[in-house]
Each structure stands twice: as C-alpha cells, then as structure tokens.
Chain A
Amino acid sequence: MDERRFLLLATFVPVAGFFAVVWLAPILYALGMSLFDNPTGAASFVGVANYADILTSVGFPKYLWNSVVYAVSSTVLSLLVGLGLALVVNQQVRGGNALRTLMIFPYLLPTLVVIFMWKFILDPNLGVLNQYLVQWGVLESPIAFFSTLQWAMPAVVVASVWKFGSFAFFILLARLQAIDPNLYERARVEGASTWQSFRDITLPHLRGAILIILLVRGIWMFNKFDIIFLSTRGGPLEATTTLPIRVYQLAFSEVNFGGATALAGIMFFLLALVAVVYFRAFEPEKEVAN
C-alpha cells in the first residue's frame, strides 16, 4: 500500500469510526426509540404516533416560539456585541489586547459557573444589581429577573450573550484583520466616508463569517439546554420552556421517552430544514469547502 493511501486511511478511518460510535449510533438509537411507546420499559411499536402527539400537543407552538425567540435573540445579540467589539479592537485601540483576554474568558467558563454568577447578580434577594437599583432609587423593590414572566427570557438571553458573545467576536475580528487595508485607503482616496467604507467594504467582507456565525451559533442556541435549565428550569409559567427543556421534561419528569425522542427528532428535522434552506440561499459551506 503506498504512503498516500495509507495516510488517507489513517486520517479517515478513525474519524469515521469515532463518529459512528458517538454520533451516529446514539442518534439512530434515539430515532428508533421515538417510534415506541414506553421504549425503556414494555416497549410497543407505535409508529409515528409519538410525533403526532407532540405536534398536536397544546404547548408545542409555545415551546417552539420560545426556542426561536431564545435562539434568534441570543444569536443576534451575540453577533452585534461581537461585531461592535471586533470593530473597536480592530481600531488599534490601546488596551485592545486586554479586552481580547477579557472577552475569551467567559467563553471558557463552564455554564454552571456563568449561571452562578448571573443568578447571584440578578437574584432578587442576594443580587447586587437589585441591591443597587433599589439603593439608587431606580427600582422600588427588587425584580426577580429569572422568575418574572417578562424578565425571565431577557435574563437568560443576557447570560447567554455574556458567555457566547466572544465566539462571534473572535471570528469577526479575525476576518476584519484579514481585510486588505489598501481597500479602505482606496475608498478614502476615492472620497468614501467612514460609514460608506463600512457599508461597502467591511460588511461585504464579513458576510460569510456572519452567515456561519448565525448558522452555527443559531443551531447551538436552539439546542441549548444547560443555560436555561440551570437558571429557570423553563419557568416561570413556561416562559422559558424551549424545546430542549421540554425534551428533558418529557424524558425525565413525565417518563415519556418515546415522546422525548420524537420531539428531538422534530427539532432535528426543523434545524435540518433551516440548514438546507440556508445552504441553498447562502452557500455558506463554500466558506468551509472552498
């Protein structure tokens, strides 16, 4: 066997095997379970009944809506924060390095710790934010951010943006630094204002990165479980019950594993649909595969 072939096998066989064991097998197993009633007990085959039940259940539209709101708002905000900051750091600001260090830190922190921090800050009783807002007279009494209907989702989103803003930041910063500075200079010589250069040069260059961030981060946030579970458990009054939270509830508190896996299958289908439309419309994998 020649060396080329050997390396080809050496690079792909382990990877393919690995994916087969830790991704494909569990996913197929889970999809299989979604066709059974009580799959972990006295399993009986029910076909797509679990799917039908989930899709027609009262809560489904609401959970879907929550998921979309959460995924979209946290992704878009992360993007905006990351973009703003990347533009700032790209301006050769002194202290930019410190800022970069600062930004990467939240990303590396475990969600558990992030939630501890934010719960502590936003807590109505121990929370520093409430303490100061009340002290300064902004609020009359503390707000329980994680447990009031209108604040719970924003609070979860803020914590998510805090943790994940740097993902967009780093990717965008790298792209910004890859733009040929002569393009800006040419634009200035041609008479373009700062805003025009941003619109006509910066944004088009960031397009690919922005699309990838929206897709990848969006999918991750849609599937995000721990940040919500650890902070609100989906409450209050299901205000933050997203589909993954619902999957957990179905699986572990309602012991409806067929339903849980069916819902996961539906989520997968939805994301795949979004992804396919996305692939068609923007061809972001050209970024990957070019």
Chain B
Amino acid sequence: LGLGGGGGGDSTIQYLSDRGDSKDVIDDIISEFEDESDYEVEVTYTSKGTSTDAQLQKMKAAGNPPDVVFDTSADAYRYQRDGDAAPVNDTIEGSGLPDPVNVDGDSYFVPTMVEPLMGWYRNDLYDENPTTWETWQSEAQRISENEGLEGYVVQSGQTNNADTSMTQYLWQNDVNIYAGPSDDIEVTIDQGDNEQRAIETYQWVDQMSEYAPNGSGWEWGDAIGALQQENAAAIMSVGGLPVLTIQEARPDLVENLSPTAFPLPDGRSQDKWWAYMEGHVVWDGGDSTDGAKEFVKFFSESERFMDFVLSAPLFQFPPTEEGLNSDAVKDNEVIQQHQDAMDLVRDNWDAFTTVLATGDDGAPNIVAADAYGQQVFGQSTDQMVVGDLSPEETVSWVADELRALQE
C-alpha cells in the first residue's frame, strides 16, 4: 500500500531524534556538517518515550522514512531485523566505540551515550547505604513507620521506568530471563532455578511495595516527584536524573541525596547493571543513505560530541571508557559536585549491560528488545501489585507474555 513520491529532495537528510535537551548542540553540529558537505539535515524532534515510534510509523507508511534515527540499541536491532537499517561499519571500525548491534559482521548502530540506572536515597533518613534486600526492607519499613514518608518506591505499570526496574530486580537475583543465541532465543524465566529466583524477586518487590506510595504507571518524573516532595525516601531511577531535576525546585534537598546501586540479595554480586545505550541508526535504501552515513560519522567525530553527551551530565555518559575518563567529563561542574555518583559509574562500568545484549554471551536478543518496547516487565509488576496476582502467578504470566512475543 505504500505510496511513493513527495517529500524531501535527494540532498536532504531526515534526522529523527528525541534529544530536545541537546537541541543547541545538535544544531551546531548540523551546521558544521552542512558547511562541509552537499547535504542538508532536517531534524524532527519527538518527545521521549513512545512518540518516536509513532512518528517513525507514519513516515514509513508514507514511504518517507527518516535517514537517521536516534534511538536505543534495542530499537536499532529491531530495525535491522526488519531490514531497515544500513551498516555503518565505516564509523565503528577503529573508532573504539562499542558495537552492540553486529549482525553477521556488519555494524548497524553507532552508540553515542550510555545511561545507567541508579538509585538515590535520603542520607539523612537512612543511616547508611542499605545495599542488601534485607536491609532495604528493614530500613524502608522503619522509615515508613517512623518518619512520615514512605521508605521506597516500587514502580509498576506500562512505563519504561517500571520495566527497567523490574528487569533489574530480576537480574540482581541472577535470574536468566532468556537463553540462546540471537537466532534462537529461548524464554527461561520459568525454567529450572530461574523460576524460584524469579518468584523470590517478585516476593521481595511485593513486600517492598508495602513501604511504597501506592500507584502505578509512574514515569521517571513521578518517582522523582515523590522524592522531591518528601513522600518517599528512596527511588530507583536513571543516572543523575533525580538530582538534576530536584536541584531546581528543592536545592536544599539535594545534599541529602546519595546515589546507590540496586539492592542485592545476600550473596549475590553486581554483575548485570542495566544501561541504555543510545545512538544513531542509518535507514537503508533511502536517497540519502550515503549522506546519512557521512553525517553519523561526522557526528561521532565532531569536536562538539562531548558537549552533546554532557548536555545532560550525570544522566548521559560517554559511550567509551576513554570518554568517561576524558577531561571534558572531569571538568564538568555538575559531575564534580556528585563525585559519589561518578564513582559508582566508574566502578561498575564493566557490568553495564543493555537489555539487548541478553542472549548467550551478550548476543543481541530480539525478544528482550520487543519486551522492552511493550514494557512487559513493568506490566508484570502491575499484575502483582495492583492486580493481586501472586508472585508465582506473575512469573508464569510474564513467561506467557514473553513467549507470545516470539510468535
């Protein structure tokens, strides 16, 4: 049904991005690029979350797909699977950049930043950083009962926030949700030991929800609001997002906030730490595909690249360890104020894992990518906390949903 025709000319590169935060830098990079090449770049900004998908669908439907999309590695892999992505080997090779979407030797994704999950707690209410499930639970209980606010926030519902949190909780208890190579992903969450561990995880989450404000469907901002308005003493969020936000409205509160890793069950170690990897995908088969590849390369090598990444410091981090240790990062004022968060990132850099890289040996996992796209895990928490499924039932609910995605 696709109709041909219309739209931007041959020398126009259509660029779809949800980085409105970095608009100034992006515009600078584009004008530098336009000075040097024959192409023009036309940016379409979307809001964060699902609206990139909506825009992409419309453009695809009209036969007017974008040439470059800024998206997560998981999305990039989906595009590749659908045959829409063009290889960007030129940019990746020899750049030292990670290569998360490598299919049959071709690279389809140019990472530009990493965004790890991270928790923040009230250091004036919690006596110390409660790192284990047990201490989190007892401390949260103490605070809920004594301090007039909830000790913790349990996220549920069809939001990215809830989905990432639940996934991370499972990882913390060494649940292997999937197994197998890219072309043969198997859902293993309800198999073998995984099942029991998954149930334990849900049980813990269920208990923690006693010490959390009720409600579901919270976006990142809602949880941050709970922290800001002192309705909760700790939240799990992404990077330094909470302090960046709270800085504006409650500057007095910021010094009472300390970063923390996700809670760990006794005896487990922190070996998978959810980190988004976001970057560029080049669309295949368009009139400006070559130009798009050029642009992506130019972008990654631009002098303003670090400015782009650091336009939301502490929330976005460079995609390489080298970048992480660069002067630009070290000299950043905000990062300097929150060295403890920076340390956490540095210390756990090797554990950072994208949801995509959850096949055997970190192979790209299309089921995980799709599950994230529909927030299956976030929904699972909802099923349990709001919908009153037992942890056992929840696990089999999740397993069913995941298998349904494979059809």
Contacts and interface: CB of A to CB of B under 8 A. Distances in A.
A253 interface: yes
A86 B328 CA distance: 64
Interface residues of B, number: 34
A39 B215 contact: no
A117 interface: no
A125 B382 contact: no
A236 B61 CA distance: 30
Interface string A33-46: 10010011101000
Contact of B57 (A33, A123, A257): A257
A124 B213 contact: yes
- The dominant DSSP class at the B interface is loop
B1 A125 contact: no
Contacts of B98: none
B226 A40 contact: no
Contacts of B54: 248, 251-252
Interface in A118-158: 123-126, 141-144, 146-149
Contacts of A126: 225, 228-229
A148 B150 contact: no
Contact of A147 (B53, B150, B217): B217
B69 to A, nearest CB: 15
Nearest to B156: A236
Interface in A53-71: none
Given A125-B228, A144-B214, A253-B374, A36 B1 contact: yes
A32 B213 CA distance: 47
B290 to A, nearest CB: 24
Contacts of B374: 253-254
B60 interface: yes
Contacts of A33: 1
B218 interface: yes
A40 B225 contact: no
A237 B382 contact: yes
A236 B214 CA distance: 12
B220 to A, nearest CB: 13
B226 A125 contact: yes
B383 interface: yes
B234 to A, nearest CB: 14
Contacts of A149: 386-387
A147 B155 CA distance: 11
B213 A235 contact: no
A148 B214 contact: yes
Contacts of A125: 213, 222, 225-226, 228-229, 231-232
A237 B387 contact: yes
Contacts, number: 98
Interface string B357-376: 00000000000000001100
A235 B157 contact: yes
A75 interface: no
B229 A235 contact: no
Contact of B2 (A40, A233, A234): A40
B216 interface: yes
A232 interface: yes
A255 interface: yes
Given A41-B60, A236-B382, A252 B226 contact: no
Given A36-B1, A123-B222, A236-B386, A144 B215 contact: yes
Contacts of B60: 40-41
A58 to B, nearest CB: 11
B228 A251 contact: no
Nearest to A254: B374
Contacts of A41: 2, 60, 82
Interface in B363-407: 373-374, 379, 382-383, 386-387
A148 B50 CA distance: 22
A144 B157 CA distance: 13
Contact of A142 (B213, B217, B386): B213
A255 B382 contact: no
B236 to A, nearest CB: 16
Contacts of A257: 57, 61
Interface in B304-325: none
B226 A235 contact: no
Contact of A124 (B2, B156, B215): B215
A237 B214 CA distance: 14
Interface string A223-241: 0000000001111110000
Interface of A: 32-33, 36, 39-41, 43, 123-126, 141-144, 146-149, 232-237, 248, 251-255, 257
Given A143-B214, A144-B218, A253-B53, 18 more contacts: A32-B1, A33-B1, A36-B1, A40-B57, A40-B61, A41-B82, A124-B226, A125-B222, A142-B231, A144-B214, A147-B157, A147-B215, A147-B217, A235-B157, A235-B382, A248-B54, A252-B57, A254-B374
8 contacts: A126-B225, A143-B214, A144-B213, A233-B158, A233-B217, A236-B156, A237-B216, A237-B379
Closest 10 pairs (CB-CB, A-B): A144-B215, A125-B225, A40-B61, A235-B217, A236-B216, A147-B215, A147-B217, A252-B54, A125-B226, A125-B229
